[in-house]
């Protein structure tokens, strides 16, 4: 809370004054701090009293005060590749102090690859699944180094197979935030794939959104907009089908709502495209912004009522 932060900042100022030491303040998930809490940090960050290190999984330009961002160096950390996660697995199995090196584990190549792929760049997800698999798999007789996996029959090994990997990481982790960059980037990829008539690509992005728990009503609304904006006059049946899809997903709900969404997506991809109506409206809007507004010509006025001579 604010009071606790003020006490911490006061202690940091006292430390700098008495010992000359600056305080490094690390804030995990800094996007959870509201504007007032972030504003408290600003004066001490400016003066150098605090060295602020903030971590967030959200776009800092949206969730962190612009004044703090402008005084900071932003580093973007990318998801780990499959190969990097495989190296991480090997290190965890070899590390006897911080990892699983005291367990006599033999991991198959396809099991290692399965864990790395389904972790989707998330090291924590990968290591958690590895640990679950190792700790829940009974050891079998084999040749290996002494360790916890040993009984009266001699050295035993824990055989980490593909089946163990599949059981340990039953659902793929999908990096997706419904209010941040992943949300907007994925719907953008979905729309641009339909615009390019890339049916396979559009289905992939649709499946990713549904897998990540995106609101199916939001997807249906975007399809309705696409049908009018990008297909328009080229296929007048696209808009009624999109509206029918919106009604269908509301009626059936999940998981069956996936089917009409896929149906509509395929139709939009295969339809001819025309932005003629959309572009014409934009051109008219630009003309209104740039020129003096025209009065309605006499021939276009409402003639059902007499014209007021005093006007």
Residue range 290-310: average pLDDT?
A: 70
Residue range 260-288: average pLDDT?
A: 91
> What pLDDT does residue 307 have?
56
Q: Does the pLDDT value for residue 24 go beyond 50?
A: yes
Residue range 71-78: average pLDDT?
A: 85
> What pLDDT does residue 292 have?
75
Decide the pairing of beta strands 105-107 and 154-160.
Answer: parallel
CATH 3.40.50.720 fits 82-168, yes or no: no
CATH classification (class only), 181-270? mainly alpha
If we measure between CA atoms, which residue out of 79, 88, 72 comes closest to residue 30? 72
Residue range 11-27: average pLDDT?
A: 84
- Extents of the domains making up the chain: 2-70, 82-168, 181-270
- Is this structure's pTM higher than 0.75? no
Do the Cβ atoms of 257 and 210 come closer than 8 Å? no
> What share of the chain in percent tops pLDDT 90?
34
CATH classification (class only), 2-70? alpha beta
Q: Which residue has the tokens 């990097």?
A: 84
Q: Does the pLDDT value for residue 148 go beyond 70?
A: no
Confidence band, pLDDT 50/70/90 cuts, at residue 87: very high
CA pair distance 168, 159, nearest whole angstrom: 13
Residue range 1-26: average pLDDT?
A: 82
Confidence band, pLDDT 50/70/90 cuts, at residue 151: very low
Q: Which residue has the tokens 């160096």?
A: 73
H-only helix segments in the chain: 2-19, 35-47, 60-63, 66-70, 82-94, 109-118, 123-136, 162-168, 181-195, 199-211, 216-226, 238-252, 258-270, 276-290
CA pair distance 219, 216, nearest whole angstrom: 5
Q: Residue 235: exposed, middle, or buried by beta-carbon count in 10 A (0-12, 13-18, 19+)?
A: middle
């Amino acid at each position: 809370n604010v009071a606790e932060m003020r006490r911490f900042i006061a202690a940091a100022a006292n430390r700098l004054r008495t010992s000359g030491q600056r305080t490094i303040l690390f804030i995990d998930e800094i996007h959870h701090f509201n504007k007032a809490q972030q504003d408290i940090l600003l004066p001490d960050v400016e003066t150098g009293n605090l060295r602020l290190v903030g971590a967030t999984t959200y776009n800092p330009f949206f969730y962190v005060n612009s004044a703090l961002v402008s005084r900071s160096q932003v580093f973007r950390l990318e998801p780990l590749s499959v190969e990097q996660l495989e190296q991480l697995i090997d290190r965890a199995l070899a590390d006897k102090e911080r990892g699983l090196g005291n367990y006599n584990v033999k991991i198959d190549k396809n099991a290692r690859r399965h864990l790395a792929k389904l972790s989707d760049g998330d090291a924590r997800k990968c290591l958690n699944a590895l640990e679950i698999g190792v700790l829940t798999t009974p050891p079998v007789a084999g040749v290996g180094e002494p360790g916890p996996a040993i009984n009266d029959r001699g050295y035993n090994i824990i055989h980490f197979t593909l089946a163990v990997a599949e059981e340990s990481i039953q659902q793929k982790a999908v990096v997706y935030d419904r209010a941040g960059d992943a949300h907007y980037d994925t719907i953008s990829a979905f729309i641009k794939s339909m615009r390019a008539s890339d049916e396979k690509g559009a289905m992939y992005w649709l499946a990713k959104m549904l897998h990540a728990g995106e609101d199916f009503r939001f997807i249906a609304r975007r399809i309705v907009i696409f049908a009018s904006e990008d297909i328009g006059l080229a296929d007048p049946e696209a808009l009624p089908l999109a509206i029918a899809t919106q009604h269908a997903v509301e009626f059936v709900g999940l998981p069956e709502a996936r089917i009409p969404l896929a149906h509509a997506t395929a139709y939009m991809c295969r339809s001819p495209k025309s932005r003629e109506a959309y572009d014409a409206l934009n051109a008219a809007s630009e003309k209104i912004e740039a020129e003096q507004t025209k009065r309605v010509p006499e021939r276009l006025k409402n003639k059902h009522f007499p014209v007021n001579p005093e006007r």
